[in-house]
Chains A and B, each alone.
Chain A
Amino acid sequence: MNLTKDRFGGLLFLLLSVTYGYYAADIPLLPGDKFEVFHAQTLPYWLSGLGVVFSVLLIVLKPVASSTSEPLFKSNVLLMFGLMAFTFLFSVALPWLGFPITTSIFLASSYWMLGERRPKMLVFASVPFALVFWLLLTQVLDVYIAPARLLFW
């Protein structure tokens, strides 16, 4: 039995369903709930069971060749992880550096990562954009955006 995409996916979901079912026991019940026909644990247990059944079916049944999958470029997979890392860092830096600075850095670094090397483009497509968007939110739409925490340090 080869480990095809389908079987690998099935194994992942099997693991997920078993773990999900295991943690269903941790859901607190109200006194007397155990005797009710339906309580907070009921659906999670059923879903876990269904998940196990479908995962096993996916693992056991003959895989069907998919015609929709397109080849992915390995270098671009790294690019995707890089962009996701930038997004994560954006969320960490946002409260500390404030909206305009964080957004400018995030956009400029993302442009650079995706292949933009012209310094003028890197600056003009990020800093003015971030400032205009920030002004639009705070001055026109009256949305409150907390100032950078570093300013108060």
Chain B
Amino acid sequence: MFEGVFTGLSTALMPFNLLMVVLGCFSGTFIGMLPGLGPISAVALMIPITYTLDPSSGIILMAGVYYGAVFGGSTSSILINAPGCASTLVTTFDGYPLAQKNQAGKALALAAYASFCGGTVGAIILIFAAPALASVSLSFQSSDYFALMLLGLTSVAAFSGKGQVIKSMLMTVFGLMIATVGNDVITGAPRYTFGQMDLVDGVSFLLLAMATFALAEVMMTIMRGKMYANSETMQPVALSSMKLSMSEVKEVAPTVARSSVFGFIVGVLPGAGATIASFLAYGLERNLAPLRLRKMFGKGALRGLAAPESANNAASTGSFVPLLTLGIPGSGTTAIMLGALIAYGIQPGPRLYLDHPDIFWSVIISMYFGNLVLLILNLPLIPYISRLLAIPPQILNPLIIFFSIIGVYLVSFNTFDIQMMVFITLMAVGLKMLDFPMAPMLLGFILGGMLEKNLSRALVVSDGSFDFLWNRPLTLSIMCATITILLLPGVISFIKRIGSKGLPGAD
């Protein structure tokens, strides 16, 4: 393992890769700060750039953008009460009230320190957890992989929230359907191409990611009128001192430690991600706090800010565990990174640890540097970076649209891709208006090819019988986990309904 760590360290310490970390953190912070554009959009916007880099540098850049975007989201949550992404929504609960009390600088500093601790704890656990899981997963067969992919796909749906489970499942199926467009990977037969030569290679991952996340998000922001109707109220508040007193540090230290470990564990669960981690950590801290401090939650409690910030960064790091070791993304952002790795010709999963130790370890090591960059470079620059929020939206939005379409065009040099993007964006906007989540679709699309290959292999080996799902203990265990996760939301809501009926006066 230590040999791998040193390989990763030497790759991550290469001046160019360090530059990528810095560049990634900066651009991520900027994009993440823009309301409506979260880490998924930020990473999607970076894909065309990463195609010109080698795999290690490309993934390091994307990882930097990821943390940067989460950090940037926290900044806009604190300064203008507009979370850049869902995972920093909880940050507004106590971050913005602190800013209103003329403690914006302190809130930003605390968010940065808590994020740094969360990310660092996450990176340290990852160093030990990832290789252990990777070595176990070396014994996986096609049936196990198929079961794992089912687990990943169903988890994303199961964790999607109340009333969203069936919609998420539908979107996952829709993603799998899109993945079947183009020549069949096994027989080469054209599927759903309708005689169009441009569809023979299937729908490009980059095109789909850019259209559904970058472009569709901008369109939704424009339609909500957020940046127009409220532009006058969205002026950043003035920053104050960024210093924390010793008593304040002592107060939040246990919170940061608890939330970091907790966030990492939640992040490892496929589909759970940083948003759920931040909500759960906030709830946990509020329940653990003494009554005197509990009353402060929602009114500018330091613990209420530190908990979600450490948890979401640790969860972001944790979501790399299933990606790097099993090849199954734990969140929408890591799903995009999986697509990028596949585009490089690298198959994430247990073999990544053995075949490309430089990539495996450099990504892990660069996470630590990423957190360091955010703390040392980004924090002091926040007053200046936040001025970018003043760019008029009528100028900024067309530029984001332009970068999205030109990023796709510069990879294929085919204007059909831009037209396809327009079509997919309109479809994505329509689906978003109907409250359909996009991440399960992208996950289904990315895993579609692998799922079909492993299913076909497993079925051929078992001579057409589905007994491969329960013949091996490992496959059976994963299938049991899948069914449990799938049924869990329904069972919980059923128990709640029964419980509320039993309580007199309960609504």
Chain A residues packing against B (C-beta within 8 Å): 5-6, 8-10, 12-13, 16-17, 20, 23, 27-30, 33, 37-40, 42-44, 47, 50-51, 54-55, 57-58, 61, 63-66, 68-73, 76-77, 79-80, 83-84, 87-88, 90-92, 94-95, 103, 106-107, 110-111, 114-116, 121, 125, 129, 137, 141, 143, 146
Contacts and interface: CB of A to CB of B under 8 A. Distances in A.
B87 to A, nearest CB: 14
Nearest to A99: B406
B434 interface: yes
A116 B396 CA distance: 11
A33 B435 CA distance: 40
Interface of B: 52, 162-163, 166-167, 169-170, 173-174, 176-177, 180, 184, 186-187, 189-192, 219, 222-225, 228-229, 392-395, 397-399, 401-402, 405-406, 409-410, 413, 415-416, 418-419, 421-422, 425-426, 429, 431, 433-436, 452, 455-456, 459-460, 463-464
Nearest to A28: B189
Contacts of A70: 224
A12 to B, nearest CB: 8
A71 B481 CA distance: 38
Given A54-B170, A58-B167, A111-B395, A47 B180 contact: yes
B398 A114 contact: yes
Contact of A47 (B173, B184, B222, B431): B173
Q: Which 4 A-B pairs have the closest CB atoms?
A: A64-B163, A110-B398, A37-B464, A91-B418
Given A51-B173, A51-B174, 17 more contacts: A6-B434, A9-B434, A12-B434, A37-B460, A38-B464, A43-B452, A47-B177, A64-B162, A68-B435, A70-B224, A76-B224, A84-B219, A90-B418, A106-B402, A114-B222, A116-B394, A143-B410
Contacts of A92: 415
B229 to A, nearest CB: 8
Contacts of A8: 434
A79 B223 contact: yes
Given A43-B452, A47-B173, A54-B166, A87 B401 contact: yes
B177 A137 contact: no
A87 B21 CA distance: 32
Contacts of B225: 72-73, 76
A70 B394 CA distance: 21
A47 B435 contact: no
Q: Which of B190, B433, B434 has the most CB of A within 10 A?
A: B434
Given A9-B431, A83-B219, A91 B415 contact: yes
A117 B167 CA distance: 42
Contacts of A29: 187, 189
Contacts of B173: 17, 47, 50-51, 54
B173 to A, nearest CB: 5
B419 A88 contact: yes
A61 B394 contact: no
Contacts of A16: 174, 177
